């Protein structure tokens, strides 16, 4: 049976000893959709992403990609299946160049044998050449087009975040999980990332966006799920979620004044 | 102009030629004692190049490299003395056998108990040494005699050894500078980020481990044929420590470092042997291990990248002034985002 859902999260629960960081969370995402995932600090947003990418084991529940279960798979297998992700604290590879970061990402999908590369066997050469062309193409269309030769560690913070997103896109993912991609960015860089998110959605992929900057989430998300203390307390369109009683109490209400005062960055801590 | 020169010197083929030509030229002008020392240093260098790849990129220590060296040596010894096969055949067999052993060890250790790999390699080295002592094929404690040379004289062996080093250096340089080399660096830098891109860090590390084992076996095979005689006292934990020290002194991720490290530690070996024999003959072995252990600790604390690489990085940092700080904060795991993921890995 064909399913219209790209990603299905069913009763996902993650417990660390006694702490239940994600508690029986279920939602579904369609292709071409941006799903905002919001909630106060410690709500379990990053842990949810960790569960979706097998960085932590599920205590209960199931995750399906295009109708097929991926729970129990290893992190790299899930990535190859099409779920890419960035981390709350970007982990670029600082000691190699921007282009080499991209190369590493491209070759991660299909890694040639080290021995074949060292010996320069034709298969490895072809693989390397293709990766080189792809890296150049991806960089050419990116904001980092003039920084391919720079050490990634020398990039300003915002560009490191961008690099991590481009690196995730090199996987040609069907689902992209972004964990606070706007934090630490200038307004201009944030605009670029939001544009990128719209572009990714336009290409028929799904984006899950964890972000504290609420105005941005409201602007870009098609639907929003709200987590609090590990539980999903609301789900709906941005307008619905803003009206939701639970959400106002747990999340919006508490910081609404602050938000109005601080403008765009108000919801970030 | 100087940049162009530097570029040429970094070319893998040019480096390989230099690695062959310089020791060979030296060998032609010095006496037989030095020819033999140069040959020995070449064999160590070959092991250290592999160890560099594994330690420098997989970020893991192998304390059992003497085991692979021994597998190579005994393969040549057994193939030639028991089965009358040419040493070449034993050499290839040894490399294949070492690759298989490393693969198995890698599957066991890198997957099941990632954090205990150093211990697993240590155990492997000890088991291999016990096997060399006990197995009927290996000639037990008395070892194997009369291993035929590759029909080579001393200079021929020098050329063969450094030819092998040149090949090893060509191989690793090409690998490290390729796109796949960037992936190796990615694994070293962040296994979590690498896995999230779709590569299996364990597979990558296992392959680097296999390469290091094959190079060690090649060196061991040449050693057996060169020496003409092997016994289990050669392939001990002390040799493994010696090799790790050479890698660390020379600096990880550098072929020149491997040569300098091997030569430097071998020079200290000879001095200690001489000094130990005249000062305290009974304890010279223990003295050497103690000094090496201390040296390892000091280097790992102050120059975790190795002496040559560490000092090189420092001078580069001075030249480019500044960018080292943000580089470290991203690399380190102290920041909060990394913590969640780190905890995830442990559980
Ligand atoms: N590996 C771990 N071991 C134990 N507890 C953990 C682990 N990872 C997360 N937690 C706990 O799970 C809860 C949810 O944390 P999580 O990082 O998912 O929240 P978050 O919604 O991403 O918060 P923030 O907005 O601050 O990033 C917290 O109480 C946290 O302490
Ligand atoms: Mg988080």
- Helices marked H in chain B: 2-10, 12-29, 32-58, 65-81, 87-106, 117-134, 154-177, 179-189, 191-197, 201-227, 237-250, 255-279, 284-302, 307-320, 324-331, 336-346
Q: In angstroms, rounded to a whole number, what is the distance separating the alpha carbons of residues B93 and B298?
A: 38
Average pLDDT on A43-57 reads 94
| Helices then strands, each counted (H, E), chain A | 11, 10
pLDDT tens by residue, B143-196: 777 677 777 787 888 999 999 999 999 999 899 889 999 999 999 899 999 999
Q: What is the DSSP letter of A154?
A: G
Q: Among residues of chain A, what percentage have pLDDT more than 90?
A: 66
If one counts every other C-beta atom within 10 angstroms of the C-beta of residue B6, the result is: 9
| Residue A198 near residue A220, CB atoms below 8 Å | yes
> Does ligand 1 have an atom closer than 6 angstroms to the CB of A46?
yes
Identify the helix (H) or strand (E) that includes residue A199: helix A187-202
The CA-based diameter of chain A, rounded to the nearest angstrom, is 64
Identify the helix (H) or strand (E) that includes residue A192: helix A187-202
Confidence check: pLDDT of B334 > 50? no
pLDDT band at B309 (very low <50, low <70, confident <90, very high): low
Residue from B180, B201, B203 to probe the interface with A (highest A Cβ count within 10 Å): B180
pLDDT band at B25 (very low <50, low <70, confident <90, very high): confident
Per the structure, the count of domains in chain B is 1
Distance of CA A19 to the CA centre of its chain: 24
- CB contacts < 8 A, A to B, total 165
Strand partners, A27: A9
Q: Which residues of B, range 195-224, sit inside 8 Å of A by Cβ?
A: 195-201, 203-204, 207-208, 210-211
Out of A212-226, B10-24, B134-148, B299-313, which region has the weakest mean confidence (pLDDT)?
B299-313
> Does ligand 1 have an atom closer than 6 angstroms to the CB of B344?
yes
Q: In angstroms, rounded to a whole number, what is the distance separating the alpha carbons of residues B175 and B182?
A: 9
pLDDT band at B337 (very low <50, low <70, confident <90, very high): very low
User: With 0-12 CB in 10 A as exposed, 13-18 as middle and 19+ as buried, what is B163?
Assistant: middle
pLDDT tens by residue, B277-307: 676 666 666 777 777 778 777 777 777 666 6
Cα angle value A8/A14/A15 (rounded, 5°)? 165
Check the CA dihedral A250-A256-A258-A259 and report its sign.
positive
Residue from B103, B189, B198 to probe the interface with A (highest A Cβ count within 10 Å): B198
Q: Smallest CA–CA separation between B137 and chain A, in Å?
A: 31
Q: In angstroms, rounded to a whole number, what is the distance separating the alpha carbons of residues B326 and A168?
A: 22
Is residue B260 included in any domain, yes or no? no
Confidence check: pLDDT of A260 > 50? no
Q: In angstroms, rounded to a whole number, what is the distance separating the alpha carbons of residues A58 and A65?
A: 16
Task: At B324, list the tokens.
Answer: 């080292």
Is residue B326 included in any domain, yes or no? no
Nearest to B307 by CA among B255, B244, B261, B240: B261
Please state, in angstroms and as integers, the Cα–Cα distance from residue A28 to each residue in A11, A219, A223, A233, following that order: 11, 20, 10, 15
Distance of CA A135 to the CA centre of its chain: 20
Is residue B135 included in any domain, yes or no? yes
Average pLDDT on B69-83 reads 90
Q: Whose CA is nearest to atom 30 of ligand 1?
A: A42
pTM of the predicted structure, to 2 decimals: 0.84
Q: What was the pLDDT predicted at B264? A: 85
Q: Whose CA is nearest to atom 11 of ligand 1?
A: A21
Looking at chain A, which runs of residues are DSSP E strands?
A: 5-16, 19-30, 34-38, 60-65, 68-69, 83-85, 175-179, 206-210, 223-228, 231-236
Is residue B253 included in any domain, yes or no? no
Confidence check: pLDDT of B338 > 70? no
Is residue B273 included in any domain, yes or no? no
Strand partners, A206: A175
pLDDT tens by residue, A85-106: 999 998 999 999 999 999 999 9
Q: What was the pLDDT predicted at B318? A: 41
> Does ligand 1 have an atom closer than 6 angstroms to the CB of A268?
no
| Residue B216 near residue B128, CB atoms below 8 Å | no
Confidence check: pLDDT of B124 > 50? yes
Is residue B155 included in any domain, yes or no? yes
Q: What was the pLDDT predicted at B283? A: 63
Is residue B103 included in any domain, yes or no? yes
Structural domain of residue B70, as residue ranges?
Answer: 2-235
**b (16+ CB within 10 A) / e for B92-124:** bbbbebbbebbeebbeebbeeeeeebeebbbbb
Is residue B282 included in any domain, yes or no? no
Q: Whose CA is nearest to atom 25 of ligand 1?
A: A41
> Does ligand 1 have an atom closer than 6 angstroms to the CB of B343?
yes
| Contact with chain A for residue B284, Cβ under 8 A | no
């Amino acid at each position: 049976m064909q399913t219209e859902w790209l990603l299905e999260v069913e009763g996902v629960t993650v417990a660390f000893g006694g702490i239940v960081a994600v508690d029986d969370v279920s939602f579904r995402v369609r292709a071409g959709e941006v799903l905002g995932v919001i909630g106060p600090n410690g709500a379990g947003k990053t842990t949810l992403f960790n569960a979706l990418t097998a960085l932590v084991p599920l205590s209960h529940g199931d995750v399906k990609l295009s109708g097929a279960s991926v729970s129990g798979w290893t992190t790299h297998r899930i990535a190859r299946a099409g779920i890419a992700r960035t981390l709350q604290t970007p982990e670029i590879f600082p000691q190699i160049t921007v282009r080499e970061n991209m190369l590493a990402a491209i070759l991660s999908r299909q890694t040639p044998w080290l021995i074949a590369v060292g010996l320069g066997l034709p298969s490895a050469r072809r693989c390397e050449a293709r990766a080189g062309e792809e890296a150049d193409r991806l960089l050419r269309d990116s904001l980092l087009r003039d920084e391919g030769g720079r050490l990634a560690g020398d990039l300003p913070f915002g560009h490191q975040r961008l690099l991590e997103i481009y690196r995730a896109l090199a996987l040609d993912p069907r689902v992209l999980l972004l964990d606070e991609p706007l934090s630490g960015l200038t307004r201009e860089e944030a605009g670029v990332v939001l544009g990128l998110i719209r572009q990714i959605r336009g290409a028929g992929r799904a984006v899950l966006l964890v972000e504290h900057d609420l105005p941005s989430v409201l602007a870009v998300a098609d639907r929003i799920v709200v987590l609090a203390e590990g539980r999903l307390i609301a789900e709906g369109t941005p307008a619905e979620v803003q009206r939701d009683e639970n959400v106002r109490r747990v999340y919006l209400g508490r910081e609404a004044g602050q938000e109005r005062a601080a403008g765009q960055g108000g919801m970030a801590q | 102009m100087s940049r162009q020169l530097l570029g040429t010197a970094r070319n893998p083929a040019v480096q390989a030629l230099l690695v062959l030509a310089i020791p060979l030229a030296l060998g032609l002008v010095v006496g037989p004692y030095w020819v033999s020392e140069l040959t020995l240093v070449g064999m160590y260098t070959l092991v250290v190049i592999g160890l560099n790849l594994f330690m420098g990129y997989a970020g893991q220590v192998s304390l059992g490299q003497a085991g692979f060296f021994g597998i190579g040596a005994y393969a040549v010894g057994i193939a030639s003395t028991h089965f009358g096969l040419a040493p070449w055949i034993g050499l290839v067999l040894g490399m294949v056998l070492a690759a298989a052993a490393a693969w198995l060890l890698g599957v066991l250790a890198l997957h099941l108990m990632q954090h205990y790999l150093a211990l697993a390699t240590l155990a492997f080295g000890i088991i291999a040494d016990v096997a060399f002592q006990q197995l009927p094929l290996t000639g037990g404690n008395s070892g194997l005699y009369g291993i035929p040379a590759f029909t080579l004289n001393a200079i021929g062996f020098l050329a063969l050894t450094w030819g092998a080093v040149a090949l090893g250096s060509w191989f690793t340089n090409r690998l490290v500078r390729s796109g796949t080399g960037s992936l190796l660096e990615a694994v070293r830098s962040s296994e979590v980020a690498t896995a999230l891109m779709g590569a299996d860090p364990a597979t990558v590390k296992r392959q680097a481990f296999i390469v290091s084992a094959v190079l060690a076996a090649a060196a061991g095979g040449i050693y057996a044929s060169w020496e003409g005689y092997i016994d289990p006292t050669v392939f001990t934990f002390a040799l493994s420590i010696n090799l790790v020290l050479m890698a660390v002194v020379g600096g990880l991720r550098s072929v020149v470092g491997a040569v300098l490290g091997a030569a430097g530690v071998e020079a200290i070996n000879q001095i200690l042997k001489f000094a130990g024999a005249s000062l305290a003959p009974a304890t010279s072995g223990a003295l050497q291990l103690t000094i090496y252990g201390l040296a390892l600790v000091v280097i790992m604390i102050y120059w975790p990248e190795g002496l040559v690489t560490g000092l090189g990085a420092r001078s580069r940092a001075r030249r480019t002034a500044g960018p080292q700080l943000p580089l470290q904060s991203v690399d380190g795991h102290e920041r909060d985002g990394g913590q969640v993921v780190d905890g995830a890995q442990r559980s």
